[in-house]
Structure 1
Amino acid sequence: MNKSFFITLAKWVLPAGIIGLLIGSATALLLTVNDALGNVREQNSWLILFLPLGGLLIGFLYMKLGPSSGYDLYKGNNLVIEGVQGKTKVLRRLGPLVYLGTFITVFFGGSTGREGAAIQMGGSAAETVIRFFKINVIDRKILLMSGISAGFGAAFGTPITGAVFGMEMSAIGKMKYEALIPCLTASFIGHYVTENVWGVEHEEFVIKALPELSVMSFAKVVLLAIIFSLLSMFYCQLRHGIHFLSEKYTKKNHMVRAFAGGLIIVLLTFTAGTYEYNGRGLDMLEASFDSDVPRFAFLAKLVFTAVTMGSGFVGGEAIPLFFMGATLGNTLYPFFDFPLSFLAALGLITAFCGGANTPVAAFLLSVEMFDGKGIEYFFVACITAFIFSGHHGLWPSQKIYEPKSRLFRLTNGDTIKNVEQKKKKH
């Protein structure tokens, strides 16, 4: 039995380690190129005028490389989730394609993030390793999870969060603890390679002060978590609504979808009179921790990102959700007797938690990102946001193994997409 255990362990750890090595280097490339392209765009604001043409190119690539293989590559993270669920295969071309699409989106000023590209590259790398080692069906699912873990852990410099995120992302109400060792291996190696081999530095957000522990403070945190969860729910609904309508009226012509979306973003940019909501918006995100930001910045970012991602551009949605939550926390500062940096941090974590439906990973993200400060508050906030965001989310393919509460009368094993469709029929 011991021999069998170590053989199985080796079958997980070796491939997971290779996945971590691949994704650590790939994510370092993603972050470095994204930063360089973002800086060029900020210095040349006229590049926003070419966003519709960038959309045409992305749409062409996805239409050219997707349907011919029988897969909708625009599913992105959902395709990786369905791979973990055993419903489909993750194409190896998905990762390089989403990288190129993310670079185009960032360079011309679409509102996007990074984790989607890292996760999808993780899935592609895992699929490559799986085929090379001829991994069986059960272990295949576990190694796909480790690809997700490597991508997330390396993208944000949070290896523990990455390990759990890989296990938690594909299903609501269930984690496959069997995958912990390969997910942890891939995430830590990916993180180590990104930071220590390639020297990539991640953004740092600092909580300068915390509220005193009291019943009133916890009550305020619960109220704030509900507000932030509603923000994430509204974003997800708007983003998926735009996606549905844009596909419907263009008959899934992704070139037309993205071109039209690019035009709308150009118009929104000139209407807003600022370029703060294009690209990743890291400067305003960091500023929200220690100074005033525009009162409705969270709403502007929400609209910019929903249009960008809903119309066919690619990248990620974690950074935009961080931005929305942190800037909304900044806006709520006059109404709550809490330190500004704490409000921004609380918004950042809970908005992400409500959209991703990953409460354990979100809590661990707060621990790693803020050096364990305020863990009592973040724990309560993540649970609250998870429940009050309902069965909505960034990824319609997430399976609901168990409803978040008995108050939700749902069928076990359904997906977010099916739940949404049933609601519309009623």
Structure 2
Amino acid sequence: MAKAKVKEKLARWFSQPILAIAALFLGAIVGALTAFFGQVLQRVNDIRDMHPVYWIPALALAGVVIVFTYKKVGKGTERGMGLVFDVAHGKEREIPLRLIPLIMATTWVTHLFGGSSGREGVAMQIGATLGHNISSKIPVENAPRILLISGMAAGFAGLFQTPMAAIAISLEILIAGHLALTALLPATVAAITAYKVSEMLGISRFTLDLNSFSPDWNLASLLYSESGLNVYFILKLAALGLIFGIVGGGFAKLLSLSRKFFAEKFPNPLKRVAIMGAVLSVFMLLLWQGRYSGLGTNLVDMCFANPAALTAGDAGIYAYDWLFKLVLTIVTLSVGFQGGEVTPLFTIGATLGAVVATIVGVPLPLAAALGYAAVFGAATNTLFAPIFIGAEMFGFDTLPAFFIACTIAYLCNGGQCIYGQKKIRLR
């Protein structure tokens, strides 16, 4: 018995260094792949934006090609993050490597022809697939699940350049209210490695100092007064969190309902994507020739590229931008097109924040930044990831504001999540 216990302890001690070394190589590969994917995706979006009337009318045909391709060579992999979750929870045994080129190529096609979708799902699927497949060579207990989580962290960090948020989302995404801390060290190694590799290969992240918007205010002066915490302003931040939580949770719920509705209405996936692709292309063209196509970073740029205009309430953001982006993204992802949800969620949150800022009485730049993170957190049913997203993108002096808004958004999302396979525990 004593020898068995010693052997067990030695195995436990050596497992973390072994997993960390594996995560280092995993992070380097995923960082390179996500840099390649991200740069091609940016170029694809630029091509579409230059000539939207050439590309968007063929969205239905592009959708048929995507669905047909998955039917012929990608059977099972069309479930994307659903497959990743099922493998992590032990419901499935493997993630085929062919998922990687398929999800990358079909996401490029979706964006080129004007679909409204994101990219984070692709990055996390790339990392999870590689991590799970590499784990078969690692003689460590629970290596498949740990390296799958580490791969997701690497994918998110490589594409978004926010390693702390990447570590947080990978640890809390699988089970609500639970952190997979056994994967903490490998996930950290993989995320930081992927972040540095993709940075060296040309990927950069969006950052902004919120205090640069106006010399008349800074976050510290709003949160604190001579007598202590400014309770009135904190209540305003909580009100924003409530709004963002409802919208983020609503997005997740509507996405689930929309997928069921279109699957029942059009049981044939080819007919579904062809008919709804044609409808989407008409709306995308009518609504300012692709304003809501692709990632939505064009709208985020409007929120933050011109500080003076945003502060004055004249940044070119319409009151309905967030709603159109929400609806068109849900339909795009429900009928068979590929991509992720997170970047559109950033866009929905930022544009919504810019609209409700004056109603709640919070400076527009701050409200847009809080919405950027909090709607994402509410829709993914995560708490720590959106807080770190906000801090890494908008400065760590903003952490108290993001903590308040993201916490309230998390509590008010109705327990919804864009990943239907996420396990729910009581909070």
Alignment pair present for 1:230 and 2:246: yes
Counterpart in 1 of 2:222? 212
Counterpart in 2 of 1:244? 260
Alignment of 1:27-426 (within 5 A): 27-46=34-53, 47-67=55-75, 71=76, 73-88=77-92, 89-131=94-136, 133-135=137-139, 138-196=142-200, 198-208=201-211, 209-210=218-219, 212-213=222-223, 214-251=230-267, 253-289=268-304, 290=307, 291=310, 292=315, 293-400=317-424, 402-404=425-427
Q: 1:263 to 1:313 in 2, by over 3 A?
A: same
CA distance in 1: counterparts of 2:416 and 2:70, whole angstroms: 26
CA contact (8 A) 1:37 1:106 kept: yes
* TM score, norm. by length of structure 2: 0.89
**CA apart distance, 1:6:** 4.5
**CA apart distance, 1:22:** 1.1
CA distance in 2: counterparts of 1:92 and 1:116, whole angstroms: 16
Q: 1:247 to 1:137 in 2, by over 3 A?
A: farther
CA offsets, 1:297-333, max 9 Å, x none?
Answer: 0001001101111111111111100000100111113
CA contact (8 A) 2:250 2:413 kept: no
Greater displacement, 107-116 / 259-268: 259-268
Counterpart in 2 of 1:8? 15
CA contact (8 A) 2:325 2:344 kept: yes
Counterpart in 2 of 1:416? none
CA contact (8 A) 1:95 1:122 kept: no
**CA apart distance, 1:259:** 1.8
CA contact (8 A) 1:91 1:127 kept: no
Q: Which has the larger radius of gyration?
A: 2
CA distance in 2: counterparts of 1:306 and 1:35, whole angstroms: 21
CA distance in 2: counterparts of 1:24 and 1:239, whole angstroms: 29
CA distance in 2: counterparts of 1:305 and 1:183, whole angstroms: 30
SS class of match (2:376):
helix
SS class of match (2:207):
coil
CA distance in 2: counterparts of 1:138 and 1:342, whole angstroms: 42
**CA apart distance, 1:157:** 0.4
SS class of match (1:295):
coil
CA contact (8 A) 1:226 1:384 kept: yes
Greater displacement, 321-330 / 380-389: 380-389
Q: 1:339 to 1:223 in 2, by over 3 A?
A: same
**CA apart distance, 1:243:** 1.1
CA contact (8 A) 2:56 2:113 kept: yes
CA distance in 2: counterparts of 1:277 and 1:205, whole angstroms: 23
CA distance in 1: counterparts of 2:386 and 2:357, whole angstroms: 22
Counterpart in 2 of 1:21? 28
CA distance in 1: counterparts of 2:337 and 2:209, whole angstroms: 31
CA distance in 1: counterparts of 2:403 and 2:122, whole angstroms: 28
Q: 1:135 to 1:148 in 2, by over 3 A?
A: farther
One-letter amino acid matched to 1:227:
I
CA contact (8 A) 2:350 2:367 kept: yes
SS class of match (1:374):
helix
Q: How many residues align structurally?
A: 396
SS class of match (2:97):
coil
CA contact (8 A) 1:243 1:312 kept: no
**CA apart distance, 1:136:** 5.4
Cα RMSD after superposing both structures: 1.7
Unaligned runs of 5+ in 2: 1-5, 212-217, 224-229
CA offsets, 1:112-143, max 9 Å, x none?
Answer: 11101001111111123123x15556121011
CA offsets, 1:362-414, max 9 Å, x none?
Answer: 111111111213211211222111111012111000001x223xxxxxxxxxx
CA distance in 2: counterparts of 1:249 and 1:6, whole angstroms: 54
One-letter amino acid matched to 1:40:
I
CA contact (8 A) 2:30 2:194 kept: yes
Q: 1:379 to 1:35 in 2, by over 3 A?
A: same
CA offsets, 1:179-238, max 9 Å, x none?
Answer: 100000110101110002x12222234423436111011111111111111111222222
Q: 1:206 to 1:314 in 2, by over 3 A?
A: farther
SS class of match (1:288):
helix
CA distance in 1: counterparts of 2:269 and 2:28, whole angstroms: 33
Counterpart in 2 of 1:413? none
Counterpart in 2 of 1:408? none
CA contact (8 A) 2:237 2:405 kept: yes
CA offsets, 1:255-285, max 9 Å, x none?
Answer: 2222223112112123323421011121211
Greater displacement, 277-286 / 28-37: 277-286
